Amino acid sequence: MTDDHIQHTWRLANADGGEISIDLWTDGENVRVDGGPDDGHDDDRGQTAVDQLLAKYTAAGYRLVRDYPVNDPAPLDDEAPDVEPDGKPEACPECGSPVEYDPNHCSDYREGPAWLCTGCRWGQYLVA
């Protein structure tokens, strides 16, 4: 079996020789349990599920033997356009308020990524 889809694995054991492994998949969502009372259990809540499972098993007498990264997380969907580019003005040149990034600012004459003042609504389109 390949582990290409595994991002991180936690291994637990108890005094009776019981073993559990928890795998977090590279999508950061899927979690799979092998062994123990939840053998074959699937979850899609990522790290939240891992934390809950670890707490549950630790309370049940298991201890974490080791955990280790397996593969890098899958690259995030780069469709998300709200990653802020470089060159953000420190403050609005008009009123000094903080400036925020708007990936799709619309005005009468133009549409596109822009810096916008949170105070006076001064705006400046980014130069492509």
Name the residues that contact Zn ion, by CB under 5 A: 92, 94-95, 97, 117, 119-120, 122
* CB closer to Zn ion, 22 vs 92: 92
Q: Which is nearer to Zn ion, 74 or 95 (CB)?
A: 95
- As measured in angstroms, the least distance from the Cβ of 121 to Zn ion is 7
Smallest separation, CB 97 to Zn ion (Å): 5
Nearest residue (CB) to Zn ion, 51 versus 94:
94
Q: What 3-state DSSP class applies to 13?
A: strand
Which DSSP letter does residue 127 get? P
CA dist 87 and 10 (Å) reads: 41
As a 3-state breakdown, the chain gives helix, strand, coil percent values, each rounded to 5, of 10, 35, 55
